[in-house]
Amino acid sequence: MPKSPLTDLVVRNLPVPPVGQETYWDANLPGFGCRVSQGGQKTFVVMFGPRTARRRRIVGKYPLQSLKEARDLARKAQAEITLGIAFEPKIKPGATTFDVALERFLEETRQRARPRTVADYARLLMRHFPFGRRPVGDITKQDLQYRLSKLNSVPSERKHADTAIRIFFNWAYREELVDKNPTDRVPRSTKNPARERVLSDSELVEVYRKARGHSWPFGPIVRLCILTGQRRGEIGALQWNWIDLSEGLIAFPAEHVKNGRAHSIPIGPLTNSLIEQLPHIDEYVFSGRNHNNRIFNGWARSKREFDKTLEGVGHYTLHDLRRTFSTLHAKIGTPIHITERLLNHASGTISGVAAIYNRHTYLEEMRVAVDKFESSLDQLSS
């Protein structure tokens, strides 16, 4: 990057690189410059040492340090290093608050990740790590262990929260918002054992019946999970323009599906009737709170309230409804490769070269299976 004199106006208006970082060197003080990250963070740095072994130190963060203060610190650093004195920059890496850092993290994540991934990070970090205006650099290993320990009764949620906070602090460390990563010494949450929970016929009927009488949006969400076998996040993020009732199809775009593969499923008369009765408020079928054109995200509280209405149903998750969907299809004789198409499994009976060259969508076979499934469910719950 060509050198030019750094002034307050120049630093204030330094361009933000589209990716990575860019350092703008000061023509008035060799070895001193301002590094700009793709998130807009500006950091004053100083270079020192022989040309074959150059090293870089941080001397301040803009606007916490003014250009003059940072330049003075750079001169002092160069003088101390020349004299063999260890230089310790007088800056506070943790001056950025957690909520400000989180907002930046989510904004940068939106540029490279799917909307569902961003929504998951936002939910996990806001709900389980409510540090608010606390400086992000003051958050300790003990703080994180305490927050994670509150999730011991829900190991799957703890594992997801653990992953999210590690990704956040790895980013914060790269952006030099913290001088050390507090997650480095936090023991990782253990891997979840594979679940095998399948609801019995009586449990499935109880959940389905109570969902029919439960309020919008959670009651219809549960019913659609049962009727379609799709993941709860895919149902929660459902948009009206993905649904074609005249063709009897729901088409999930690749960016909203866990395995990144666009997925279309036929819907039967029960599903069609359910969707027709739903309120059309905005682009999302199940809007968030206050109908603010955001996807539904009140999963834990809504499920707790819904489960209070159930009788004779053991502990289950919404993903168990997906497994139960597959099991019921097996009972009614649906071929496994058709069930896998309905579930959009990334691996299964048709994979590898066969999957590449097999252009048959099995749409008609899927329709037959869906109609048979709905008929069976209707008989069970009548």
Q: Where are the domains of the chain?
A: 8-91, 98-185, 201-381
Supply the pLDDT for residue 361: 67
For residue 351, name the pLDDT band (cuts at 50, 70, 90).
very low
- Residues forming a β-bridge with 36: 22, 42
What is the Cα gyration radius of the chain? 27
- The helix or strand, by DSSP H or E, that contains position 216, with its residue range, turns out to be none
- Residues forming a β-bridge with 284: 239
- Residues forming a β-bridge with 239: 284
Report the C-alpha gap between 372 and 338 in whole angstroms.
13
pLDDT of 87 over the 60 cut: no
Q: CATH assignment of 201-381?
A: 1.10.443.10
- Residue in this structure with the two tokens 């989180």, named with its chain if needed: 102
Supply the pLDDT for residue 93: 46
Cis bond leading into 2, ω under 30°? no
**pLDDT tens-digit readout, 304-319:** 999 999 999 999 999 9
| Number of Cβ atoms within 10 Å of the Cβ of 175 | 21
pLDDT of 358 over the 70 cut: no
| 8 Å CB contact between 63 and 69 | no
Query: Which pair of tokens denotes residue 161?
Result: 């929260």
Query: Which pair of tokens denotes residue 363?
Result: 């749409």
| Number of Cβ atoms within 10 Å of the Cβ of 235 | 23
Which carries the bigger pLDDT value, residue 334 or residue 191?
Answer: 334
For residue 255, name the pLDDT band (cuts at 50, 70, 90).
confident
Supply the pLDDT for residue 88: 44
Q: CATH assignment of 98-185?
A: 1.10.150.130
Most confident of 130-139, 285-294, 327-336: 327-336
Structure-derived torsion over alpha carbons of residues 16, 137, 140, 297, reported in degrees to the nearest 10: -50
For residue 45, name the pLDDT band (cuts at 50, 70, 90).
confident
Range name among 6-10, 212-216, 323-327, 344-348 with the lowest pLDDT average:
344-348
For residue 1, name the pLDDT band (cuts at 50, 70, 90).
low
Q: Residue 31: how many CA atoms within 13 Å on its side-chain side?
A: 21
Query: Which pair of tokens denotes residue 365?
Result: 């076979």
pLDDT of 89 over the 50 cut: no
For residue 235, name the pLDDT band (cuts at 50, 70, 90).
very high
DSSP, collapsed to helix, strand or coil, labels residue 32 as: strand
For residue 55, name the pLDDT band (cuts at 50, 70, 90).
confident
Choose which CATH entry (3.30.160.390, 1.10.3720.10, 2.40.50.140, 3.40.50.720) describes domain 8-91: 3.30.160.390
Percent with pLDDT over 70 in the chain: 86
Report the C-alpha gap between 165 and 38 in whole angstroms.
21
φ, ψ (nearest 5 deg) of residue 37: -95, 165
DSSP state of 317: -
Mean pLDDT of the chain: 84
- Residue in this structure with the two tokens 């949620």, named with its chain if needed: 157
For residue 76, name the pLDDT band (cuts at 50, 70, 90).
confident
With 0-12 CB in 10 A as exposed, 13-18 as middle and 19+ as buried, what is 253?
Answer: middle
For residue 287, name the pLDDT band (cuts at 50, 70, 90).
confident
- Residue in this structure with the two tokens 């906070």, named with its chain if needed: 165
pLDDT of 226 over the 60 cut: yes
Supply the pLDDT for residue 176: 82
Query: Against a cut of 0.75, is the pTM above it?
Result: no
From residue 229, alpha-carbon distances to 141, 188, 199, 344, 382 in Å are 40, 31, 13, 10, 20
For residue 352, name the pLDDT band (cuts at 50, 70, 90).
very low
pLDDT of 193 over the 80 cut: no
Which carries the bigger pLDDT value, residue 262 or residue 294?
Answer: 262
Report the C-alpha gap between 24 and 10 in whole angstroms.
10
Report the C-alpha gap between 346 and 344 in whole angstroms.
6
Averaged pLDDT for residues 220-228? 97
